[in-house]
Structures are given as structure tokens and as C-alpha cells.
Chains A and B, each alone.
Chain A
Amino acid sequence: MNQNNEDGKYTAADQMVVAGSHQIRPDDVIYVGLGLPFLSTLLAKYTHAPDSTIIVENGIVRTTGFEMPRATDTPGAQFMSDQLTGLFYISSLGQAGHITTGFIGAGQIDRYGNVNDTCVGDYTRPVHRWAGSGGANDVMSFCQRSITMLRQSKRRFPEKVDFVTCPGYLDGIQGQREKAGMPPGTGPAMVITDLACYTFENGEMVVKSVHSSVGATLEKVKEEVGWDIKVAADLQDTIPPTDEEIRILRGEVDPKRIWVGGKRQPIRQD
């Protein structure tokens, strides 16, 4: 697709990050995973959500911004935190219902918002292996709402994932999450890709807005989904980044340009 908008000020990845930022509420408590969700969360922190709380799995709780990390735990992410603790404590905050938003990346996502971070093909003889859940299963099991971010392709959007690493709405039948033992009122709320944003209606993913600012069309969006996806009645264009948002993203959130085009840039080795 066209990665840049007409005047080349921002890319589809920037649009993803900004759309993610717009999902952060001013008083959100966010369990955030590495990568683009970090960019969105910090962008929100530096714009409309200065009072939000950022939580990282290794045990970091903070209400101030920090240097964009390359890994989940870095000295910069630890430094001058509000609280340093551990994984058990962080996850318990989530399980007890105190984390309002979980924000993660994903390998694949399906029609009912189930995420696969484990394998393509049979588990015992996989065609492809990802590293596994990490904190993602925990986020989608019990954070109040979860937001997932991934690049979109038909391969990444199968109708049914080969392995459910993180539960969405399972088979899309109401009450299934609660029946398995997950807290009521939790589950995927939004999916953000380089083409569009999606919400869930009755447990099923629907197209909510299309990134027309970077050349995406509904036709293209549908092409890159592995089932005949429904479209929200009030389909919109995704709100494009403002000049100010792009300036803050480049200048304050990730001035070293660690995450460019949605990918972590390699460190040059001697």
C-alpha cells in the first residue's frame, strides 16, 4: 500500500501510533507491551493523557514519560519510576481489576479477537513459532479492555487462529469468557492495524475506521482479512495525525528513531 500520505509528512505506522494514542483515556492505567503500543502510550502521555499511569511487565509503574526502550526492561524505563516491583504484583493489579487498559502487539488475530502469539500449524509440529504469550495472555484475560496492534495481512487475520494464546471472545458466543473464569466486562475493545481500526460488536470484529489519510480503502482492508468482515454502520475515516502529534512523536517520544515504520531498528555492531 501507499506507506506515505500525499505530502509525505507521516507514514501508515505513524497513523497506527496516533490512532492508538487516541484510544488512551486521560485517567487510564495502561499495561503496555513493547513496540508500537509503547509509542502510542507515550504519545498520549505527552499530549492528552498526562495523568495516565504506565505499567510494564517487569515491574515498572510510572506516571512520567521516559526514554523509549528497546526492550521491556531498561535502566531508562526503571529510572525515577513511581514504583518498582515485580511481575506478580503487576499482574495481580490486572487480575484484581485495577488496570483499565491493556495494550499489546500480536502475531495473528481472528474474527472473535482471539490472538495467536504461539504457532502457525499444529502445536506439536508448527510451521512457524512465535515466542509465546509473555504478558499478553494476562492482559487479554483480565485487563478491563484490551487494544491490539499489528500489521495487517490476510495471513495475520485468519477467520480462526491455529492456537489461542490470548482469549478474545472465543467462539463469539456471549458469556463464554465468564464461563471459563475470566472477569465480567473484559475483552478486546479495539484492533489497530496499518490499514484500519476495528471494534467488536456482539463479540465479532467489525471495521470501525479506515486509514484513508495514508491511502487505505475499505476494499483494501477487506482484501487483507481472512473472512467476510462486517463494517460498522457509522464507518469513518481514521482521524489523521496532526502536525503537533507528529512533531511530538519524532521529537519527544522516539527522538533516537528506535521504532521506524513499526519496526525496531538494529543497533550497529562494530
Chain B
Amino acid sequence: MSKVMTMKEAVSRFVQTGDTLFISGMQHGEPAAAIHEIVRQKIDHLTLVSVLVATANLLIGEGLVDRVLTGYINQDERSYAVAKAKAADRSPVYEEYSHFGISLVLMAGQMGIPFIPTRSEIGSDMPKYNKNITSIECPFTGEPIGAVRAVNPDVGIIHVQRCDANGNAQKWGTMGVDMEGINASKKIIVTTEKIVDVDVIRRDPNRTIIPGFRVSAVVEQPFGAHPMHLAGCYSGDMWGYYFDTGPKENYESYIKDLVYGVKDWNEYLKKKADIKPTGYFENFKIKPVESEPIISGY
């Protein structure tokens, strides 16, 4: 069954006010196009679960986020998104874990269990301020061990290299917390560089990270992770993005021109190409290296 739709439709149908939202990427292949669409639709009171997602700063800056579950996020007001949220009395509450802690709350969510034990975080002051980290006794040995509470995001959004129309999605390169984050999510939006024939997926099915039956929407969006890089597709401009959305004037013109001022991501790409120096997007071309294909058959 085809789940292919536009970004506008996918976001309006499956992301709602008050949702807990998992955003994949961890600096690699973030679903930047989807984030822009959420901002355009002003879907608010979100709880974000994110690890190093650079492009999520717009959601915070636009006051759409109530709470962030994270291991590492810039809370420094020298970042205008942080300062803007604070000035509007829309600073999110930060629920802080270690990196591993975030991957574990999602892993427990994926596994369908209420919590998961860990040896991280327990020696720190984090449990004092985060009620979802605690210590327990091992039921078998009686030894002390940490525990973090499971999280099942209402919606998970991931950007991948390829996906079929049914939602069988394949991503490669570093995976950050993508596997557990997307698999823990109740509803899933896959945005993809390319929608491929189902047989492309079936010739290399080990690479599928989420099966079609778990996926709600498939959106084809080339360059959908820009300004981040995506393995095998393009390199990125994260530092350019920090500059474009860091200082107040830059941030406000970015939001006005490149988010609210365009109807979709293709228009964003076109407008950005006009604003940036000639050859801006050509610079992100990679020299592709192919691996030996895996062999299947019987």
C-alpha cells in the first residue's frame, strides 16, 4: 500500500500539538525539510527527543517546544534561538541524560518494556533533577544499578537515502540513535532522497531499518537533510547553518525568507541557491565509492 504523500500532508496528518517528537540524525542526515514544515505549520507544545540535532534549533526559537529530552544541547543565549525562546517566555524545560541515557530510553521504548538498567548517569547529579533516572537493586544479585524510564515518542521522523512506497526504509552511514528512536516511535514519517522500487529494497533487505507496516507516511525529498551531510549522497554545511541561524539578524532573515517565505523545501533549495554564492550546492557533491554488492538468491 502506497504511503507516499507531500511533506505538507505528512506533517499535518501525523504531527499534532502536544506530541512527543523523535527527530533522527545526530548530525548525520537530519530531517531538516520536515523540521521546516513543522515550523511553517506552527505545531506547538512539542516535546523533543533529540541528540545533537543541529537543525532543531528553529523549533525552539519559534517557541514550539515545551520540553527537550537530551544529552547535549546548546542552552547558551548567545544562540539567538535560545535567547528568542527565553524572551518570549517559551524556553523549554530540559530533561537531561547522557548520550547513552537517551539511546536507552528509546531502546526500552522499542522493546516495549517500562525501563532499562544502566551503569551510566548513576554517579552523577543528573538523577537529582531528572525523575526518570534512578537507581535500583538488581533482582538477581542485589547489586545497585541505574535505571532509566522508557520513552515512546508519538511521532518519529527520519530522513533516509532510499525507501520504497510502502515505507521500507534504508539508511546507512553513522546511525546515531536512529534505530532505537524510530523503532520506539508510535507513528513514523520517513522522508527519503529517493523512492525506489520495492525490489531494490528486497535485494538488500538487511539494510532496512524500519519495515513498511510500521510507517505512516513516505515523502520523497531530495536534499532533505541539507544543510547536514548524508552518507553517499552529499556533504554538508553545518557551520554555514550555524552562521545563518546563530546571530539575531541572520536567524530572523532565515526564518522570514527561507522558512515562512517559501511554500516547500524545493522552493527553499531554489531560493537558497539564489542567496548563496554561485556553485553553493555543487560544492556538496561527493566522489562516490561503491561497495561490492551483497549476493542473495537461492
Contact = CB atoms under 8 A, between A and B. Distances in A.
Nearest to A89: B175
Contact of B100 (A60, A85, A95, A123): A95
Contacts of A269: 240, 243
Interface stretch (A22-30, A46-54, A125-133, A214-222): A125-133
A87 B103 contact: yes
Interface residues of B, number: 60
A131 B98 contact: no
B100 A134 contact: no
Contact of A86 (B76, B178, B276, B289): B178
Contacts of A266: 239
Nearest to A269: B243
Interface in A41-66: 57-60
Contacts of A167: 122-124
B198 interface: no
A4 B228 CA distance: 38
A226 B97 CA distance: 28
A179 interface: yes
A224 interface: no
A interface majority secondary structure: loop
Interface stretch (B35-43, B65-73, B188-196, B264-272): B65-73
A252 interface: no
Contacts of B178: 86
B210 interface: no
A181 B122 contact: yes
A181 B129 contact: no
B138 to A, nearest CB: 9
Nearest to A136: B98
Interface string A161-175: 001111100100000
Nearest to B147: A181
Which interface class (under 10, 10 to 19, 20 to 34, 35 or more) fits A? 35 or more
Contacts of A87: 26, 51, 99-100, 102-103, 175-177
Nearest to A266: B239
A88 B100 CA distance: 6
Nearest to A73: B27
Contact of A75 (B73, B120, B231): B231
Contact of A182 (B28, B123, B240): B123
A189 B97 CA distance: 24
Nearest to A88: B103
Contact of B75 (A59, A94, A131): A131
A138 interface: yes
B96 interface: yes
Interface string A183-208: 10000000000000000000000000
B123 A141 contact: yes
B52 interface: yes
A151 interface: no
B146 interface: yes
A137 interface: yes
A181 B277 contact: no
A58 B144 contact: no
A138 B123 CA distance: 10
Contacts of B52: 58, 72-73, 134
Most A CB contacts (10 A, CB to CB) among B97, B100, B143 go to B100
B277 A270 contact: yes
Contacts of A79: 289
Interface of A: 57-60, 70-75, 78-80, 84-88, 91, 94-95, 118, 123-124, 129, 131-138, 141-142, 163-167, 170, 177, 179-183, 266-267, 269-270
27 contacts: A57-B99, A58-B28, A71-B27, A72-B27, A73-B229, A79-B289, A80-B289, A84-B231, A86-B179, A86-B180, A87-B176, A88-B104, A88-B177, A88-B179, A94-B100, A132-B94, A132-B96, A133-B96, A133-B126, A134-B71, A135-B99, A137-B100, A163-B125, A164-B125, A165-B126, A182-B119, A270-B277
Given A58-B27, A118-B125, A181-B122, 14 more contacts: A71-B238, A73-B28, A84-B231, A87-B99, A87-B103, A91-B103, A131-B74, A131-B76, A134-B52, A179-B144, A181-B119, A181-B135, A267-B240, A267-B243
Q: Which 8 A-B pairs have the closest CB atoms?
A: A167-B123, A86-B175, A137-B98, A91-B100, A134-B72, A88-B103, A59-B174, A73-B27
